[in-house]
Structure 1
Amino acid sequence: MKLASSAVWSFAVAGLALATGVAASPAQHVFAPHRPEAPETNAAVSPVRHATPSLVDSAKWERIESMAALPNYQLRVKQPKLCETNATQYSGYLDTDEDRHFFFWFFEARNSPKRKEAPLILWMNGGPGCSSSTGMLMELGPCRPDKGGASVSPHKYGWDDQAHVIFLDQPLNVGFSYGSDVFNSIAAGKDVYSFLQLFYHSFPEYSKSELHIFGESYGGHYVPATAKAIHETNLEFSQKQSLGVLSTAEKQKRVLPLTSIGIGNGLTDPLIQYKYYSTMACNSTYDPVLSKSQCDEMDRSYPTCARLIDACYKWQNALACYPAEAYCNRMLTAYAQSGANVYDVRIPCEGGNLCYPIISDIDAYLNRPEVQKELGSDVSEFVSCSQKVYAGFTFSGDWMKPYVSEIPPLLEAGIRVLIYAGDADFICNWYGNKAWSVALEWSGKDKFANAADKEWLVDGKSAGEARTYENFSFVRVFEAGHMVPYDQPVNSLDMINRWLAAKPF
C-alpha cells in the first residue's frame, strides 16, 4: 500500500530527528502528563537508569525467590506497612539477568470471605511510560494521598475490596523500576508472564486465585500483549505436558489461570478510534469543546490518517508506523491548545501534571525517603511518567500497531474480555472504543453487534449502559473521564466486583 503522498512521508520521517521536541508537544504527547514547558533534557538519548548505591541492601528483603524453570529471573520481596490497611501487603522487584528490575506492590483482598481464593488482578497504567503506582494512589488502591503528599488516607472503594491486586511498574524506568530499556509491548508482555509465574510459585497460598489482567489508556496495548504471552505460553506448556516431554525444571511452572482481561479507556484499535475524535470534541453528550470548523478539519484529515495507519497495520515496523503516529496526532492539536482537559471534556486542564493536582501529591508521597525505605525502593527518585520511555515507544512504532488483533484468539479460547470507558474522556473516548468493539472480527461479531445496550444500575441509579454477548462486554460509564475509578469510585467498584463474580450488568 502506498503512503498518502511524498510530502506526508517527508514530514513524518523528519519528525524522527526531533525526538524530544515532538514527544513533548501537546499534539504528540497525548497520554503522558509532561507538558511542553518542562520536557526532560535529551529524553530520547538519556542513559539507562540505575539503582542508587546507598539503597542497594540485600538485608532489606525478607525473601528472594527463584525457579529453575526461569533461571534468568528472581523475585525480591518485603512486607511494607503503608496505607493503613489490615490486609497483607508485599512489595519488591522482579529482576532479570539482562539488567531489568520491575517494581511491584501487592495488596491482599480486604473483604473477601475466602481471601486465599479471591481473584487476582494485575493492573498496568498507560502512558506509554507511566507508573502503575499512580493508578494505585489515584484510582483503585486502598489509599489516596492527602493534599501535599505528606500522608495518605484510606480509600474504601479500592478494587482490593474483593480481589488481590498487583500494581506493576512496567515498562522499565517508570515509577521505581529501572534498568535496560524495553520499548515494545510484546517484549514487555513476556517479562510480565515470567513475573506471574514467579509470583504464583513464591506464594502458593494464592494458587486458587483466578488471574485477571487489567489496564488503562496505553494499557490497550499492554493488556492484549501480556494476555497473548500468557495464553500462548499456557498452550505450549499444556501441549508439552500432555505429551509428557516437560523437563524437570519446566515442571515447576504452571498453567497461569488467565480468566479475563479488561481495558479501560484504552488505545487498542487506532484505525477505528481516531475517526471519533471530532465526534467527542463537537457532538458528544456533553457541551462542545471545539468549533465546528475545527472538527471539520479533523474529519478532513482522517482519510490520510487512516491510510497511514493501514500501512502500519500491514507492515508493523517503525518505518511504517511512526509516520501514522506523527501525522494522526497532529489532528489533535486544536484540542490540546484549547486548555480543555484531554482526559475529561467537562473540565479545564489544571496543574500541568496529567491535568490533575493529585498527581503532584502522589509524586510528593512516593518521593518521601521513609516511604521509599518501607517499600524497598532501589532508586531514590519516583518517576510518575518518563518522557524517555514515551519517546522510545513512539519512535519504535509501537503506538499505532494493531494490538486489537490479539483479542479474538482470547475470546475464542473462552477468556472473558471487558472493555469499559468513561463517557467524558476525549483522548480514548467511548465512541471509538465502542466502535472497534462492535467491528471486532470474532465468531460472536454479529450477535454482539446486534445485542441490546442495557441500563446498568448501582443502588437504583443509572451508572451507565452495558452490552454483552457470551464472554465479551462493553460498558459505557456515565459521568466519568479517562480515569474511571477516580471519577466514579462507587460505580467502578460495582463494575469490577460484578465482573469478577461473572454477574451481569
Structure 2
Amino acid sequence: MFSLSLALIAVLLGSVYCAPVEDLIANLPNLVEPLRSKNYAGYLNISADKQLFYWYIESENDPANDPVVLWLNGGPGCSSLEGTLLEMGPFRVFDQGKTVARNPWTWNRLANIIYLDAPAGVGFSFYNTTKKTFNDDQVASDNHDALVLWFQKFPERKNNSFFVAGESYGGTYVPTLSSLILDKKQFPSFQGMLIGNGCLDDSLLFNSGILYDYYHGLTDETQFRDVINSCCDNSIACDFYKNSFGFSKCANMTNDLSESKYYSGLDPYFLYFKCYLNEPNYDRPDEMKAAVQERRETGKPSIQKRRIVQKLDSMPSCAHHNDYVAYLNMPEVRTALRIPSYIQNYSSCSNVIAMKYVSQYTTMTPFFQKIMKAKKRITLFNGDVDSMCNVVHNQQFIKNLNRTLLMPSTPYVDYKQIPSTIGLQTKYDGVELVTIVGGGHFPAVLAQKPKETFQMFSNFLRNKSYSTQVDDDKPPVGKAAGYRSIITSFLMILITIFLQFN
C-alpha cells in the first residue's frame, strides 16, 4: 500500500519536477510563511567513507531556465549552511531557532542554489575514517565528484547556466574546483565563478592586511613605527610577509603587528559592528575563528593555536548571529532534513578540519589565468570593512594579473539611497572587482548590506550594469503561482503522511 502510494507520488512529482522525491523537504519547522520554491536536501556519496550533505533550493523565479549556482563557504572547515540560513538563503533564523522568517533579499529569487557542506566532516557532511586528510586538491576533487552526483539527481538542470561561487577560503575552493571543471569537461554549461571577500594570495593578503589595519586605526603607532624602522629600512613599502617567517626578532615583531586586529575588541570580519570585548579572551570563538584564518594568512600557526582550542559553535551574539546553529540541532529540524542519527551535531565550523587542513597554494594566480584563458567569467566582490580578507588585497591581486583595464574604479549606485553610491566597480579584460561600501566579510547577512549584495548578484547573473535597480521582495501572484502552490502543498502532505507511517 505505502509502496504504491510512494510510486504514485513519484509519478505525480515526475510530471512536474524531474528531481529526487526522497530528497524533497516536506516541511521545515517554525517557518513564518510557506516556502516559495522547492527545497531538497540529502547526501552525495562520493566514496565509501565520504558523504557530502547538500541543500538545494530552487529559484523562486523560473527554475527551469534560471542559472544553477554552487555555493561554498570558507574556513577552511566552515559549513555552507551558513549561507543558507544566515546570508543569501531564503531564511532568517531568530530566537534560538524558534522563529524562521523570510529573507527578502535571498539570492534564490533569481537562481537555483546548491549549498554544499564541504570538505567531508563539515556541518552535516560525514567522513568515516580515523585517517582524515584535507588539502586543496582533495577538496576540489571531492567537490567535483559531488557535482557529478548532484546533476545525476537533477538531470533537468544540466543545460542551465552554471556558476561556482563562494567566499573567504572559497577564494581557494572556487578557483581550484573551476579549474578541475575545465579539465574534466563534464559540465558544458559552466559559465564562470563569483568570489566574495576571497583570500587569493598569501603575500598580498599579509602585506595589505598590516597597512589596512594601520589606516583603520587598529594598530599602535609606536609598534608600527618600530617594525618599519627596525625591519623595513624605514620604508612603508615593506615586504612584511617575507619578514614574518622564522624566529628572528623581526619575524616576531612583524607577526605581532599583523595580529593587531585581534586585540582591538572589534569584530575583524565586520569592523563597523558593535562588538567590544573588555579584554582579550582567547577562549572566545570569534578569536579562534580569526586564529584559523591567520594560519591561512601566514602559513604557520598563530599564537592562539598554542592555547587550548575551543569549539566554534557558540559564537558571541554581538559578533555573529548564531541562532541558526541551534535551529539545525533541533531534533525536528534534523528529521525534516533527513539527517541520519549517526551524523554529528551541527557546528558552523570544524576546528579539527581547520587545524589539519593543508593549504597547498600560496596564490590563485595560475588558476585565474587558466580560467580567463578559457573565456569564463570571473567576478570578485568585497565588503570594504572586512579586515580578514581585505578589499585592497583583492584590488592588488587583479591588478597583478596584467590584464587590459576596461573600466577604472567607478561608482555604482542605488538611486533610492542617499548618498546613492553603494560600491565601486573595476573591470579588466576577463576579471572584475565589485566593492560593497560598508559591507564586511559576509556582506549578505542582515546586519550588513543584504540589499546591496543582492543588487550585485542580480546584475552579475544578468550581465548588466551594477547600477541596474532591483525590485523589493514581493509575494508570488497569479494563477500559475497559485496552481503550483496548491500542487506542491498537496504533494508535500502526501509525502509527510507516507514518511510518518513508513
Flag whether TM exceeds 0.5 (same fold): yes
The equivalences for 1:430-469 within 5 A come to 430-441=391-402, 445=403, 447-448=404-405, 451-460=407-416, 461-469=420-428
Matched, 1:360 2:322: yes
Distance 1:275 1:148, change over 3 A: same
Q: Aligned in 2, Cα 1:337/1:417: closer, same or farther, shift over 3 Å?
A: same
CA contact 1:75–1:94 (8 Å) conserved in 2? no
Query: What's the CA shift for 1:458?
Result: 2.0
Note if 1:303 corresponds to 2:239.
Answer: yes
Q: Superposed, which structure 2 residues align to 1:202-351 within 5 Å?
A: 202-234=153-185, 254-284=186-216, 288-296=217-225, 300=231, 303=239, 305-306=241-242, 331-349=257-275
- Alpha-carbon separation, structure 2, partners of 1:433 and 1:375: 37
Q: Distance in 1 between matches of 2:354 and 2:274?
A: 24
Q: Give, in angstroms, the shift of residue 345 of structure 1.
A: 2.0
Aligned to 1:340, what secondary structure does the other structure show?
coil
- Residue by residue, what CA displacement relative to the aligned partner does 1:250-304 show, whole Å, maximum 9, x if unpaired? xxxx4342112111111111111211112221214xxx22222334456648636
Structure-1 separation of matches of 2:253 and 2:120: 27
User: Which letter maps to 1:365?
Assistant: Y
* SS of structure 2 residue aligned to 1:274: helix
Identify the residue that residue 93 of structure 2 maps to in structure 1. 145
Deviation at 1:76, TM superposition (A): 7.4
Aligned-pair CA distance for 1:333: 2.3
Mapped partners of 1:260, 1:266: distance in 2: 15
Unaligned runs of 5+ in 2: 1-5, 11-19, 233-237, 278-283, 287-314, 467-502
Displacement after TM superposition at 1:211 (Å): 0.9
User: Tell me, which stretches of 5 or more residues in structure 1 are unaligned?
Assistant: 1-58, 64-73, 235-253, 310-319
Which of the numbers 382, 399, 404 marks the counterpart of 2:346? 382
2:70 to 110, 114, 122: 122
Distance 1:327-1:500 versus aligned 2 partners, 3 A rule? farther
Q: Please say if residues 280 and 426 of structure 1, whose CA atoms lie closer than 8 Å, have aligned partners that are also in contact.
A: yes
User: Is contact 1:278–1:296 with CA below 8 Å preserved after alignment?
Assistant: no
User: Contact 1:75/1:92 (CA < 8 Å) preserved in 2?
Assistant: no
Is the aligned partner of 1:97 residue 2:77?
Answer: no
Relative distance call for 1:298 and 1:307 in structure 2 (3 A) is closer
Q: Equivalent pairs: percent with the same residue?
A: 25
CA spacing shift, 1:353–1:359, aligned 2, 3 Å = farther
- The question of whether the paired residues in 2 share the 8 Å contact of 1:150 and 1:364 is answered with no
How far apart in 2 are the matches of 1:380 and 1:277?
36
Post-superposition offset of 1:140: 0.5
Residue 480 of structure 1 corresponds to: 439
Q: How many Å separate the matches in 1 of 2:146 and 2:253?
A: 36
Over residues 346-375 of structure 1, what are the superposed CA-to-partner deviations in whole Å (9 max), with x where a residue is unaligned?
235469444662543111111101001111
The structural deviation recorded for 1:308 is 7.1
Which protein shows a greater Rg?
2
* 2:23 maps to which of 56, 71, 77: 77
Specify the code of the residue in structure 2 equivalent to 1:479. G
Which stretch shifts more, 294-303 or 159-168? 294-303
1:304-347: CA deviation from partner (whole Å, max 9, x where unpaired): 623778xxxxxxxxxx9xxxx99986543222122121112223
C-alpha separation in 2, matches of 1:216 and 1:374: 27
SS at match of 1:127: coil
CA apart distance, 1:397? 4.2
The normalised TM-score by structure 1 is 0.71
Q: Partner residue of 1:54? A: none
Query: In structure 1, what residue type is equivalent to 2:107?
Result: W
* 1:197 to 2:148 alignment: yes
Q: Number of paired residues?
A: 389
The 10-residue stretch of structure 1 (192-201 or 114-123) with the greater mean CA deviation from structure 2: 192-201
With over 3 angstroms needed to count, the CA separation of the structure-2 counterparts of 1:295 and 1:477, relative to structure 1, is farther
Aligned equivalent of 2:102, options 144, 147, 154: 154
- 1:125/1:131 contact within 8 Å kept: yes
Q: How far did residue 425 of structure 1 move?
A: 0.5
Three-state SS of the structure 2 residue aligned to 1:79 is: coil
Contact 2:412 2:422 in 1 (8 A): yes
Distance 1:202 1:328, change over 3 A: farther
Please give the alpha-carbon distance, in whole angstroms, between the structure 2 residues aligned to 1:76 and 1:105: 13
Aligned partners of 2:161, 2:414: CA distance in 1, in Å? Answer: 25
Distance, in Å, in 2 between the alignment partners of 1:462 and 1:193 is 38
User: For the Cα contact (< 8 Å) 2:77–2:351, is it kept in 1?
Assistant: yes
Counterpart CA distance in 2 for 1:289 and 1:480 is 18
Change (3 A) 1:480 1:146: same
Secondary structure at the aligned position of 2:160 is classed as coil
Measure the CA separation in 2 of the matches of 1:451 and 1:430. Answer: 17
Letter in 2 for 1:213: V
How far did 1:390 drift?
Answer: 0.4
Question: CA contact under 8 A between 1:305 and 1:327: conserved in structure 2?
Answer: no
Q: What is the CA deviation profile of residues 157-204 of structure 1, one whole-angstrom value per residue up to 9, with x for unaligned ones?
A: 011110001110001111101114341122111121122222222212
Local SS of the residue matching 1:289: coil
Q: Deviations along 1:408-464, whole A, 9 cap, x unmatched?
A: 1101111100111101010111011111111124xxx1x22x731111112352110
Deviations 1:484-505 (A, max 9, x none): 1111110101100100011122
**Separation in 2, partners of 1:206, 1:160:** 15
The answer as to 2:321 corresponding to 1:373 is no
Higher deviation after alignment, 327-336 or 187-196: 327-336
